[in-house]
Structure 1
């Protein structure tokens, strides 16, 4: 009657459907099991449909103020109290109809039903639903190597932004939330932020595929990126690095960087995965972890000397015998490369040392990583006018048309010749054309 306008014109017709089912009718009751200190008891809504759910109304009455048969208040202010109770009861019945018509009623657990009936503003339950943090961890478990590490870094960024990803549900993630996450990383470059946003989108996609959520805020969100500059160590800086007198540890880091270049810009994970069995007849043969493509690289004398110097047992190279994962070693390698440089001197020309008697070096390149070796090989090859298709084939990139690429089998002699030219150029045995 007076309340029907709140729920729509068809509410009375819909409510009659509930009354037709004896188990559907929700009722009111006075819970006399637990009395408050003032002698009153809570009035509850007993949810129908065979559930065992009782919802609080926020109203408390004494036994003599409640008619158990009529299920209504008979005490002081009864009319006002009963109006409130009937309104709450109709809200619950209307919510039940809504959930049944959407096909949600049979799918939700009792705790989820309780939440949906107690909070009319929810579009979907959060009780028992995997959180953003839980889904992140599930996705991370499917990743390996560097990709896994990047997703772990993204989860840390999310936790810094929202406090705890385990408290965030996918229905909480909208365009505003995503923009806030993006803006929470002001010190990162555009592409680094884009990487974290893509990882977050990957987790949201996973949740959608798993049926966890239908909410997809990335539908109307564009992830901004910018063209990445190739990170190349100039040839003069590389030659300077090669001529330095370094400690045993720093010499190892330098040698690993040089080996990456000498082996045609080999990927760090692939270098770590090499075993002694992959090195035979003067060549290293392996399948790249990222693409599965078979590689055969001629080991030039400069590379052979480094391999012999760091001969491993389980792995081709001993550094990877020492570390549980190549990513652990990669962290130390990159940190070490960024410190390598000439020893600093004081005003009197004397070398500077730390309190631990270690030489203080002036870094040649503060941003360098192992991946620069791959870009550097390609750049040096281009400087030597080595054909683009040869460079692309050496690095495992697609060259030319995908169709013609099927019919073109590059001779490994071309790549071997190109690599020898690059190494000679590094060693100053060959000059840049022109």
Structure 2
């Protein structure tokens, strides 16, 4: 069987912009079958003798990458079928790969993915991919990502890692960036943008990053300093900061975004019942008297704004984007105030809204509470996630244990 794979500039068809479409052409025993690649080119930038774009073509690198990707995938398919002695024709190859070849750059895929997530209201995820996209743009000297996913190989990953390290980024940041890039690559595989065997993360393992975080839990003594602090007469921001941190700690380490979305409907017969924004898991916890008193402070706000706490307002923050932006803004303000608050209380550790959640888990563990109960209160879907929250034993605990040796 004589079969040839090529890409041609189809002169017989002229588009409205004067360009000609680029076509995949498979020739089998002088019979030709063609399929559009979804891109076009001005004929003055095409070398019809060599069947490739001229070096001066504005989109030279992009078009070359797409051509190489399409040709290599079809040639690989042909070799695979020949090795298995499978029957095939030019037409059957085109039909079999009909959904397999999609001319889409990393730039186009990222932007469409970000927009899709926004439309679905998954704002947090859209920000993660936007951050990844912007980092890749910076790595690419500020230029658009006009290359295909097959360009992202092990060598690319190593260069990307070296570049981020040269910018002073630590392993935790590198791990976050590569996990997001890996997720984008997997989505591109699912969308038939790139072949599964091109995945660089089969060889480039993310386990080499050291992501062990510094202990973020406060001691029970420091936690009580915050909870028992008298904020009467202080600024509204200070009072809200004190209330939200205390409420988070007292209510199972509830996250800031979940606190922001609470409404009076989440209070049922003296219990806090809500669905986590992140995992959609259901939480059902008893409300302590202290937690109820914090809620009661904002009863006037609840009547006009729907929400329990003055973070979101039912008439001002309607869309997912508006809600997300507002939560991020207030969370930042609260964390800034917590730094000042902690310093005044002579707390040496860093204090953020997240610390209340981490401290809740760690203090319960030290009190002998079963990790499964802690995991359920936190709303974790896997007990391993809970274990990440829990710090290693303190030196004091280890020293005490060592006394039992003799």
Q: TM-score, normalised to structure 1's length?
A: 0.59
> Which residue pairs with 2:108 in the alignment?
134
> Which residue pairs with 1:124 in the alignment?
66
CA contact (8 A) 2:272 2:285 kept: yes
> Which residue pairs with 2:190 in the alignment?
209
Return 5+ residue gaps in structure 2 as ranges: 16-23, 55-60, 71-101, 385-406
> Which residue pairs with 1:319 in the alignment?
311
Q: Secondary structure at the match of 1:260?
A: helix
CA contact (8 A) 1:99 1:105 kept: no
Describe the superposition over 1:359-390 as per-residue Cα deviations: whole angstroms up to 9, x where unpaired: xx987544x33222111111111122222232
Structure 1: distance between partners of 2:156 and 2:29: 31
Deviation, structure 1 residue 283: 1.5
- Alignment of 1:264 onto 2:252: yes
CA contact (8 A) 1:261 1:376 kept: yes
Return 5+ residue gaps in structure 1 as ranges: 1-9, 19-25, 27-46, 54-94, 344-360, 402-434
Structure 2: distance between partners of 1:98 and 1:188: 51
Equivalenced residues, count: 303
Q: Structure 1 residues 145, 310: CA separation in 2 closer, same or farther (over 3 Å shift)? A: farther
Deviation, structure 1 residue 240: 3.4
Deviation, structure 1 residue 395: 2.0
CA contact (8 A) 1:241 1:364 kept: no
- Alignment of 1:253 onto 2:241: yes
| Aligned partner of 2:126 among 131, 148, 151 | 148
> Which residue pairs with 1:59 in the alignment?
none
Structure 1: distance between partners of 2:39 and 2:133: 31
Deviation, structure 1 residue 288: 2.3
CA contact (8 A) 2:182 2:201 kept: yes
> Which residue pairs with 2:172 in the alignment?
191
Structure 1: distance between partners of 2:309 and 2:126: 23
- Alignment of 1:339 onto 2:340: yes
Greater mean alpha carbon deviation, residues 107-116 or residues 373-382: 107-116
CA contact (8 A) 1:393 1:399 kept: no
CA contact (8 A) 1:131 1:165 kept: no
> Which residue pairs with 2:80 in the alignment?
none
Deviation, structure 1 residue 178: 1.8
Structure 2: distance between partners of 1:100 and 1:336: 76
Describe the superposition over 1:98-121 as per-residue Cα deviations: whole angstroms up to 9, x where unpaired: 7999x9941324616976922499
Q: Structure 1 residues 96, 289: CA separation in 2 closer, same or farther (over 3 Å shift)? A: closer
Q: Which fold has the larger relative contact order, with Cα–Cα distance below 8 Å and residues 6 or more apart in sequence?
A: 2
Q: Structure 1 residues 164, 306: CA separation in 2 closer, same or farther (over 3 Å shift)? A: farther
Going by fraction, where is helix more abundant, 1 or 2?
2
Describe the superposition over 1:232-289 as per-residue Cα deviations: whole angstroms up to 9, x where unpaired: 1223333333436553212312321111111111122222221111113211212223
CA contact (8 A) 1:287 1:295 kept: yes
CA contact (8 A) 2:37 2:103 kept: no
Matches for 1:86-101 after TM superposition, within 5 Å? none
- Alignment of 1:182 onto 2:168: no
Describe the superposition over 1:370-426 as per-residue Cα deviations: whole angstroms up to 9, x where unpaired: 22211111111112222223222222346889xxxxxxxxxxxxxxxxxxxxxxxxx
Q: Structure 1 residues 254, 151: CA separation in 2 closer, same or farther (over 3 Å shift)? A: farther
> Which residue pairs with 2:369 in the alignment?
386
Q: Secondary structure at the match of 1:107?
A: strand
Q: TM-score, normalised to structure 2's length?
A: 0.62
Structure 1: distance between partners of 2:238 and 2:143: 39
